[in-house]
Amino acid sequence: MGSIFAVRQQEGDDADGTAADLMQDGHKQIAAGYVLYGPSTELVYTIGKGVHSFTLDPSLGEFILSRENIQMPAHGPVYSLNEGNFWQWEESLRNYVRYVHRHEGYTGRYSGALVGDFHRILLQGGVFIYPGTVKKPEGKLRLLYESAPLAFLVEQAGGRASTGEQPILEVIPTMLHQRTPLIIGSPEDVALVESFIEEQRREQTVVVLP
């Protein structure tokens, strides 16, 4: 379990800020991170100058720096997604899962807790996927306070985050609780998932000759 946060620069002149201040792409974030709760409590954050992790020392009541300048591997063994939804996905995602099932070196890890699953990917490499479904292509995760903060953080650690069609940080929200698909993790693994999506897109393209 965990809590995700982000800090954005106020855009308007209203002293209290407005919802319109948030309707900016993810590059407008000036800080982001999460707190992971478990056997230990970890704070992982970025202010655009690398990713750092602090662990709570209960005896002191303070967070102590435990990992500095985290860099995730370019490729990792873990793929994390809810395979129980297999038949609700587009064929491209099903083809990706078939691919990892047929190739050695991959291991599935999915707990259903976004922060915990992402934390594993950040440290070990690999990819976390929460796609849309055929009926709900927008997915479940919220752009402003789930996907975009993690995207800012993962890019600072050398990773990537994508909707499958464009980088998460380039998506401009039109509503506060906007949802988006999320593919996030090591750059090579995110690119692999995108390649299956692109392949399906090419197959569905119909060229009409005059």
The whole-number pLDDT of residue 199 equals 86
The whole-number pLDDT of residue 156 equals 97
**99 CB burial (10 A radius; 0-12, 13-18, 19+):** middle
The whole-number pLDDT of residue 206 equals 59
Q: Is residue 19 part of a domain?
A: yes
Same domain flag for 61 and 133? no
Q: Which residues contact 176 (CB under 8 A, 6 or more apart)?
A: 19, 22, 144
Same domain flag for 88 and 53? no
Same domain flag for 52 and 104? no
Question: Could you report the average pLDDT of every consecutive run of 10 residues in the chain (210 residues)?
Answer: 90 72 88 94 95 94 94 95 93 95 93 94 96 90 96 97 95 93 97 93 67
Q: Is residue 210 part of a domain?
A: no
Q: Is residue 125 part of a domain?
A: yes
The whole-number pLDDT of residue 203 equals 79
Residue-number span of the structural domain to which 151 is assigned = 78-204
Minimal CA–CA distance to 186: which of 142, 145, 155, 141? 155
Same domain flag for 128 and 189? yes
The 3-state secondary structure of 116-152 reads HHHHHHHHHCEEEEECCCCCCCCCCCEHHHHHHHHHH
CATH code (residue 126): 3.40.190.80
Tokens of 143: 């752009």
- Last residue of a domain, which of 16, 40, 67? 67
CA 97 to chain centre: 18
CATH code (residue 6): 3.30.540.10
